[in-house]
Amino acid sequence: MRSVEFTAHNKIALLFRGAEFFPALLAAIDAAHYEVFLETYIFTLDETGLRVKDALVRAAARGVSVNVITDWLGTGHRQSVQLNHLLREGGVSHRVFNAWFTRGITRTHRKICVVDRHVAFLGGLNINYDYVSDDGFSTPLPAPRWDFAVQINGPLVVTVHREMQAHWMMLTGLGLKYRWERFMERRPMGRTLEEGPALAALVVRDNLRNRRTIQKAYLKALGSARKSALLANPYFAPGRKLRDGLASAALRGVEVTLLIGVGQFRIQDAVAHSFYPKLLRSGVKVVEYRKTQLHGKVAVVDDEWATVGSSNWDGLSLLVNQEANIVVKDRRFAQDLRGQIEHAVREGVRVRLQDYVNIPWYERAWYGAAYMLYKVILRLITLGRYTE
């Protein structure tokens, strides 16, 4: 497993929801001089997606090299075909990741953009409208989707660009030689370049040398937590190690708050509910966010360590899909993110242990059955790597 490599002297700006993310993204693309890489799980041709598509085409018309990767499953077959036609007609190079599952079940769930090797964007936001659900049903949302991205300027952009460029080259169908060279890359363990603010690192999950890098970054942060750990995620179904990491931190006196999105998928909610009793008994504060779709995958530990990215706390993100998070060691950034999460916690509904003790037996049975089904499916598709 590749270690986390921090670089210093980065400027990391937190972008909340599409209202902050898309204007910044569009401005960067419109200012591009020679190169744009964009990768996303969902690219919907709604009013938001059309604005991004038009910006990409405008850049290509100026002579900028524009390269776009979208996931076939996330974007959908019909929309992938339509998007491919529109982009290629506008001079944009477009590749669809893993159409018809020809590469197995792995999806690219990453949301990344790099412009001119000068600025990068990374986070949880897909290319779609904030007020419509992203589950394929196009359900209107009562409030904008709760999600985050970051804008990166500084040395880390080089690392993000290298990752994007490598993924683009992989999708060209290059032979085993290139794949072997990528696999054999070595970097110093725990390397930190030029100490100083803001320290930041790109943390990816893939099926080469980064199978558990994101999970281990979370575990290390929880293991070293002294005062507080504030985490938010829409799909909570991690393996035992991460659940134990949360419980252990709470048992040793760390104030652990877990904000979970609910209401999107009934079986996903049931699986998450099956974990509540142990977490609550350990002292973890569990809060459900019901105001709108919670899609952010973020965390803050001790106001010193923070992460924003695409990785959910479930078996698909942690063990199957290609994901990308940024880890930031900067107090001001961590406090800004903490403030956003704490505001959402106040808007949420706290889950209390006594409420769970008195739930009907048939609800407990449903939670248990949902978890057993989930565990069986994950063990099959991860070839036994998922642990309960």
The percentage of residues in the chain with a pLDDT greater than 90, rounded to a whole number, is 79
User: What pLDDT shows up at residue 175?
Assistant: 45
Q: Is the pTM of this model over 0.75?
A: yes
pLDDT at 187 over 80: no
| Calpha distance 289→274 (Å, rounded) | 17
- Taking 70 as the threshold, does the pLDDT of residue 15 lie above it? yes
pLDDT of residue 184: 55
Distance CA 345, CA 246 (A): 17
Q: So what's the pLDDT on residue 182?
A: 53
Active site (annotated) includes residue 220: no
Active-site residue, selected from the candidate residues 53, 94, 109, 161: 109
pLDDT at 255 over 70: yes
State the catalytic residue, choosing from 53, 94, 161, 295: 295
DSSP conformation class of 323? E
Task: Assess whether 118 carries a catalytic annotation.
Answer: no
Does the pLDDT value for residue 151 go beyond 60?
A: yes
Say whether 85 is catalytic. no
Least confident piece of the model among 55-59, 66-70, 159-163, 358-362: 358-362
Across the range 301-321, mean pLDDT stands at: 95
Separation of alpha carbons 21 and 352, rounded Å = 35
Report how far Cα 355 is from the mean position of its chain's Cα atoms. Answer: 31
Catalytic status, residue 53: no
In the chain, the domains with their CATH numbers are 6-170 (3.30.870.10), 201-381 (3.30.870.10)
Distance from C-alpha of 195 to C-alpha of 201, rounded to nearest angstrom: 13
Three-class SS state of 384: coil
Q: Which of 147, 302, 314, 330 is catalytic?
A: 302
Catalytic residue among 53, 71, 94, 111, which?
Answer: 111
User: What does the pLDDT read at residue 385?
Assistant: 65
Question: How high does pLDDT run on average in the chain?
Answer: 91
Is pLDDT of 19 > 60?
yes
- Residue 135 is a catalytic residue: no
Task: Provide mean pLDDT across the span 163-191.
Answer: 64
Position 4 confidence tier, pLDDT thresholds 50, 70, 90: confident
Pick the range with the lowest mean pLDDT from 28-32, 133-137, 366-370: 133-137
Within a 13 Å sphere around the CA of 335, how many CA atoms are in the beta-carbon half? 3
Kindly report the backbone phi and psi dihedral angles of residue 384, in degrees, each rounded to the nearest multiple of 5, phi listed first.
85, 0
Residue 198: asked if its preceding bond is cis (omega within 30°), the reply is: yes
Q: Report the pLDDT value the prediction gives residue 181, as an integer from 0 to 100.
A: 58
